[in-house]
Amino acid sequence: MMLLASGEEVPGHHTRYVIEHMVGLGAYGAVYSAHDPETPSRQIALKEFFPARHPRDQAPLRALFDRERMIGMQASPHPLMPTFYEAFQSEGHFYIAQEFIVGRTLDDIIARRHPLTREWVLKWSVSLCDALAFLHSHQIVHHDLKPANIRITPQGHLCLLDFGAGWGRTIRPFLRDVEFAGLFGFEPDFLFCTLARALNPYAAFLTGGTTPAGELPGGFFDVVFSWSVFSHLSPASAALWLQELARALVPGGTLVFTTWGARFLHRLRNEAAARAAGAAIDWYSGVCLDAAGSIEDRIGDYASGGFIWFTSGQSKVYGEAFISEAALARLLDEHRIPLVLVRSDTSTLGQDALVLRRV
């Protein structure tokens, strides 16, 4: 692991970033204070993700980057969140560039000035509630809300930090209705599973392979929820996991999963036209377009009920998957999987949601 030194340059899509100094270091990356020579007034927080140490870690690392990128983009429009500038890959490393928030963290302010004045507490509490309400309206749950992740600017304004990709965060919405003893998660990467356990000590996290090998207990779960997993699985891998989850569900149990759908395909078509006209597009969209081939053919195949899957790498498991209701019905029938589709939602969430019942 080599850290960036002061003065080093990192080329992005839209500009180059000159490193000033490191401001944070974690298990999966480092954050640097940087600046854009073309816009000297813009202070940048540049996050560098450490490269995978083993080939099996490449897909989880890409998933971590994708999640932080997507959440950063979704949160950026709110005035109390850092502005998202771009996400990109350079020399084998993933990077995310965001606004650098100048100020002190709330825990530092509390330590220096305790107790806080009533006026400050009320002002910051209202601001924090507004920021969290915005995140929740976009199905984002902050994974580590604490004073150290709240920064107060010199003008006295609150800014919420580090809300990106808390591993295991999708289990938290169930805390209101499910006893701790009934909460389980599954993460195939052992290191990420360890992280999920540390961030969510109230739930039991299981680990295993990227393809199922019967690790899950049979006929045990009432509900299984899978966010942004089937949006990446190949047809063969999706069939294996659907068979495994059907085996793990009790009769009458419910499986809910999300996947890419027509909305993302049409967005890619629009961005393909924009790129052809010379406009800059999102890095992730560019990767998808490069791997997809003819986007018009993909849209036509999807409309005809095809299972759309493509990958930018050599993986036979991880890529971009678009599963329509017709494609799902065909997959369940071909593999005789005892699941039946009971509901779908193609507008509420960032991905399409499909609800199935175990029969």
pLDDT in tens, 318-358: 889 999 999 999 999 999 999 999 999 998 888 999 999 99
pLDDT class of 316 with cuts at 50, 70, 90: confident
The residue behind tokens 């993986």 is 315
Longest CA–CA span in the chain (Å) reads 66
CA R_g for the chain: 22
pLDDT class of 30 with cuts at 50, 70, 90: confident
Structure tokens at 111: 């330590």
Does the pLDDT of residue 271 top 90, yes or no? yes
Average pLDDT, the chain: 88
Q: What's the pLDDT at 169? A: 61
Look up the CATH number of domain 209-261+297-358: 3.40.50.150
Q: What's the pLDDT at 172? A: 67
The residue behind tokens 């100094």 is 21
Q: What's the pLDDT at 189? A: 76
43 three-class SS = strand
Most confident of 54-68, 78-92, 242-256: 242-256
Domain boundaries, the chain: 9-99, 104-160, 209-261+297-358
Q: What's the pLDDT at 59? A: 73
Percent of the chain with pLDDT over 90: 49
pLDDT class of 238 with cuts at 50, 70, 90: very high
pLDDT class of 241 with cuts at 50, 70, 90: very high
The Cα 133–Cα 319 span in angstroms is 32
Question: 220 or 179: whose pLDDT is higher?
Answer: 220
With CA atoms as reference, report the closest residue to 10 among 54, 45, 58, 62: 45
**Is residue 104 within a helix (H) or strand (E), and if so which, with residue range?**
strand 104-105
pLDDT class of 27 with cuts at 50, 70, 90: low
With CA atoms as reference, report the closest residue to 255 among 187, 172, 328, 165: 328
DSSP notation for 325-350: HHHHHHHHHHTT-SEEEEEEESSSSS
Does the pLDDT of residue 165 top 60, yes or no? no
Is the domain spanning 9-99 CATH 3.30.465.10? The answer is no
pLDDT in tens, 275-314: 999 998 877 788 889 999 999 999 999 999 999 999 877 7
pLDDT class of 187 with cuts at 50, 70, 90: confident
Does the pLDDT of residue 83 top 90, yes or no? yes
pLDDT class of 110 with cuts at 50, 70, 90: confident
Percent of the chain with pLDDT over 70: 94
φ, ψ of residue 227 to 5 degrees: the values are -100, 125
The Cα 351–Cα 229 span in angstroms is 11
Instruction: Summarize the confidence of residues 214-233 as an average pLDDT.
Output: 92
The Cα 341–Cα 359 span in angstroms is 10
With CA atoms as reference, report the closest residue to 232 among 76, 66, 106: 66
pLDDT in tens, 243-254: 999 999 999 999
Long-range contact set of residues 325-330: C-beta below 8 Å, sequence gap at least 24: 325/354, 327/302, 328/354, 330/305
Most confident of 4-13, 237-246, 284-293: 237-246
Range of weakest confidence among 89-98, 116-125, 189-198, 275-284: 189-198
DSSP notation for 239-265: HHHHHHHHHHEEEEEEEEEEEB-HHHH
Q: Whole-structure pTM over 0.85, yes or no?
A: no
pLDDT class of 143 with cuts at 50, 70, 90: low
Q: What's the pLDDT at 218? A: 94
**Alpha-carbon distances, residue 135 vs 97, 114, 282 (angstroms):** 20, 29, 21
The Cα 262–Cα 157 span in angstroms is 40
